[in-house]
A and B are shown apart, each in its own frame.
Chain A
Amino acid sequence: MKLRSLFAALAALAFSAGAAEAASGTLTVYTSTPDQAMNDLIAAFNKVEPGVKVDFFRSGTTEVVNKLQAEFTAGAPQPDVLFIADATVMEQMKADGRLMSYADAPVQGLPGGFYDADKTYFGTKIIPTGIIYNTKSGKPRPVSWNDLISPDAKDQVIMPSPLYSGAAVIHVGTITAQPDLGWNYYEKLADNGAVATKGNGGVLEAVASGQKAYGMIVDFMAFNGKAKGSPVDFVYPTEGVSMVTEPVAILKTAKNAEAAKAFVNWLLSDAGQQYMTVQGYIPGKAGIAGPAGRPAATELKVMPSSAKDVAGESNEIKKHFSDLFGG
């Protein structure tokens, strides 16, 4: 290990003209990316930046952010980089003055609105939430969000909780912002016996194992489960989907800003965006082909909502949801 780092240092010195900022040291990332996916992602990143040792803390977005909020209050935030599901939290962090503006970030090719205009956070991929269903349950294939409140779906629906998942905060915020759905829709879900679990992983497990016939879930998890042979399929409902972009941001308090920038650079690079595809995500960058059989970012029908609106109401959303479904 020592030899390798010595070599890396020598190499960095030798090529200092070409790669003026070869990053090194430890990079601490707080993320909501699942453990295994994060380990794989770090391995891919390290092929480009072997000098950076990435150490990460992983939980649901909501838990990650609250842990971080507590650290802010304590005056000792640990992470250099925040890499979580939804932009609402980033808006909040930005408003609190926690995020560093990375003016030189390589945003070429990213659609507008995919990253913050002040360059404090950057979307890394497109993650829509739709409906997963068990293909062996004998229940009809769903097409609309309203199919989850039909008699066929009685006691058969499971969904992630916004008290844990960031994508779920956006999802509940988006659905409840639609005039045809609203909180009324969630009241009906509760009456129909729908239940909430912690994260999207729990939804996949419940639907794949046949405990529940239907679930609300982020698309990549459903497709990854299907690819592994689970009896599930995924539907983008007719009304449209909600969407998160798993933004990445560098904290103002980052101890290793160089490594943090290198990490952001790689995530936004062509190689990084192609790697998203390998993990089953729809990349955000124009010109990068998505996973086979999936709609391109531009073809998705997304229900309208704004990150800023949801940010203002996220506590209300969580409270209302927990009153209806517990947890």
Chain B
Amino acid sequence: MTDGAVPKASAVRVTAPRISGDHTLAGIAAALVILLCLLPMLRLLMEALLPGADGSLPLESLNSRSVFRAGTNTLVSSFASTVISTLLGGGLALLIGLTDIRGKSLLTLLCLLPLLIPSQITALAWIKMLDVGSPARVAIDFLFGTEANHPLYGGGGVSFVMGLEHAPLMFLAIAAACRALPCDLIEAARAAGAGHRRVLFTIILPLLKPALLAGGALAFVSAIGNFGVPALLGIPGRFSVLTTLIYQRLNGFGPSVLGETAALGLILAVIAGIGLLWQRWVIRRAPALRTGGPTGPILPLGRGRLLIEFTTGLLLLLLTVVPLAALVGAALVPALGVPLTWETATLENFTYVLTQYQPTQRAFLNSTLLSTGAAVVTALLGLVLAYYGELRRWRWMRALDAMADAPYAVPGIVLAIAEILVFLKPLPMVGVSLYGTAWILLVAYVARFLTLALRPLAAAVKQMDPTLEEAARLAGATGPRRLVNIVAPAVRASLMSGALLVFLTAFNELTVSALLWSRGHETLGVMVFSLQSEGAAGAASAVASITVIVTLAVAAIATLFARRLPKGTLPWMP
């Protein structure tokens, strides 16, 4: 019977006459989660807190000018970017959620597009849009005087682009809250004679405050851990943040500074942890809005509607589509500074990265294989965890959920340090090291993205009708057999969309890969970053353009799978 007892180690004796299939399967899954998710985190804590080989405490090494500067920059730029995300994402969510603006689904899609485009590509696209010679740059130079440096290199650019990149988080939080606004309150205010402005400021915004705070906390935590944007815009602008400082320290000093970077990583993790706890606390304290939501537009736009629709559409195009067009444009010119015309346009950069330059060719293959591998492993592992945790309700399996969350909750660069700490030295007994192979990337991807596959699966399994599985049990089917024949088919849509979500995220991954890649095991995110910083802008743009196209195509497929799923299974389908 499926009592919730924790099996003792002795229960898995080799000599035991019968080992239950349930315990074997669950045991393997638990071992994987502990090995992949819990162990690296503990190892990082140890490295950061215990004295190093020379007896000095890693945390003491943090008392330096550069660490202080990077820490301040991290907080300031994350805060500034959160303000931008709030104004932009929150404003758009209010506009779409509360007014009678037309074309809502198209506008929503544009608002959520940044979710699909990885930071490093967004940053690159903005660099290209404002490069010397571009119309936008000419306008900026005209308004503010010619400046030799790229206008986005530095703290301002980092905050701005991170603000755009994380605006969808705020958008999703506010949009969801808007859908649950109690219309009786608003109608009562209306009946009492309150105008639009009064309704907005005294009823709606106070009701949205928890969502605003929660969305803000998420945007802030994402900004703290962001690496792609400060790597492309901050490093050339001499604006260092904690993530880029860790990267530069490890690249500049090598494994000897692992302890110091672990301490830096711990600080990052603590800041992110505070943000996430605060977000959960805000959500828990928020009054539950369980009404059907408003039936019609709360704030009709009136005569200005056409103008507002036009402005909003234009703004969204400018912020999301035009930079991507500039990116593709930059991939189509033969050299930096050549204007794009029908005569100059060439596919040279694309043929170069696809057929001539070996590292990018390898990167396309590696990223495809690694993200497919990560998708399959996380989906299977997630299925086992969800089955025993949510349907069979084994308590110790549910405890693993929190462990699976940890590698995703901490900034990616912190997980990367943790993986290096565990897997750099040859593994005990086998004597082989994972570092310098593709396996360390796969292990890190599985650890980081497990929760992405697990969450929709856990929700789907929980909602499953338990009678089918129960009937199969009575008919004598073993646990694993029921999992394969009954549970898996019932939740296949969640399984597929979760796997595709993992694929998409891993395919574009930079932060973890930046520290774990090695020669022969390049990934697409790393290639975009390194090509750009080596000055091969055309090739970087070509790789990024292809990545965007693949990403959008896979996202479209995932959307097809998710049509019948509860809303919110895929982040871009609220």
Interface residues of A (CB under 8 A from B): 28, 30, 35, 55, 57, 59, 62-63, 65-67, 69-71, 73-76, 78, 161-164, 195-198, 201-202, 205, 209-212, 315, 318-319, 322-323, 325-327
Contact = CB atoms under 8 A, between A and B. Distances in A.
Interface stretch (B193-201, B253-261, B286-294, B466-474): B253-261
Contacts of A326: 66, 69, 238-240
Contacts of B424: 70, 73-74
A163 B252 contact: yes
B134 to A, nearest CB: 15
A197 B236 contact: yes
A207 to B, nearest CB: 11
A78 to B, nearest CB: 6
A322 B248 CA distance: 10
Going nearest first, the 5 A-B pairs with the smallest beta carbon separation are: A163-B252, A66-B254, A74-B433, A57-B519, A74-B435
Given A74-B433, A76-B436, A78-B520, 16 more contacts: A28-B519, A57-B519, A63-B251, A70-B255, A70-B424, A70-B435, A71-B435, A161-B252, A164-B252, A195-B238, A210-B148, A211-B148, A315-B256, A318-B252, A322-B252, A323-B65
Contacts of B536: 35
A319 B433 CA distance: 30
A66 B518 contact: no
A78 B253 contact: no
Contact of B148 (A63, A67, A212, A319): A212
B488 interface: no
A62 B149 contact: no
Given A70-B436, A322-B66, A198 B148 contact: no
A327 B518 contact: no
Centre residue among A65, A74, A76, A196 by max chain B CB count within 10 A: A74
28 contacts: A35-B534, A59-B530, A62-B252, A67-B518, A67-B519, A69-B254, A70-B424, A71-B435, A73-B255, A73-B425, A74-B426, A74-B435, A75-B431, A75-B432, A76-B436, A78-B436, A162-B252, A163-B248, A164-B251, A195-B238, A201-B534, A205-B535, A211-B148, A211-B149, A212-B148, A322-B66, A326-B239, A326-B240
Nearest to A322: B66
A323 B420 contact: no
B235 interface: yes
Contacts, number: 105
Contacts of A211: 148-149
A196 B148 contact: no
A73 B518 contact: no
Contacts of A197: 236
B533 interface: yes
Contacts of A201: 534-535
A193 to B, nearest CB: 11
B132 to A, nearest CB: 8
Nearest to A211: B148
Given A71-B518, A73-B255, A74-B424, A327 B435 contact: no
B interface majority secondary structure: loop
B64 interface: yes
B250 interface: yes
A55 B132 CA distance: 35
B149 A78 contact: no
B65 A315 contact: no
Contacts of B434: 74
Interface of B: 64-66, 69, 132, 148-149, 235-236, 238-240, 248, 250-256, 358, 420, 423-426, 431-437, 518-520, 530, 533-536
Contacts of B256: 69, 315
Contact of A66 (B251, B435, B530): B251
A163 B247 CA distance: 11
Contacts of B520: 78
Contacts of B519: 28, 30, 57, 67, 78
**Residue among A30, A57, A212 with the highest chain B CB neighbour number at 10 A:** A57
A74 B535 CA distance: 31
Contacts of B431: 75
Given A198-B533, A315-B256, A327 B238 contact: yes
A36 B251 CA distance: 23
A67 B426 CA distance: 16
A198 B358 CA distance: 23
A75 B433 contact: yes
Nearest to A59: B530
A175 B202 CA distance: 66
Contacts of A325: 238
Contacts of B238: 195-196, 325-327
Interface hub of B240, B436, B437, B535 (most chain A Cβ within 10 A)? B436
A74 B436 contact: yes
A36 to B, nearest CB: 10
Contacts of B533: 198
Contacts of A327: 235, 238, 240, 248
A71 B437 CA distance: 10
A70 B254 CA distance: 7
B36 to A, nearest CB: 18
B426 A75 contact: yes
A35 B194 CA distance: 69
B497 to A, nearest CB: 36
A182 B441 CA distance: 43
Nearest to A323: B65
Contacts of B436: 70-71, 74, 76, 78
B254 A65 contact: yes
B425 A74 contact: yes
Nearest to A70: B255
A65 B256 CA distance: 12
Contacts of A164: 251-252
B435 A73 contact: yes
A70 B252 CA distance: 12
Among B149, B238, B250, the most chain A Cβ lie within 10 Å of the Cβ of: B238
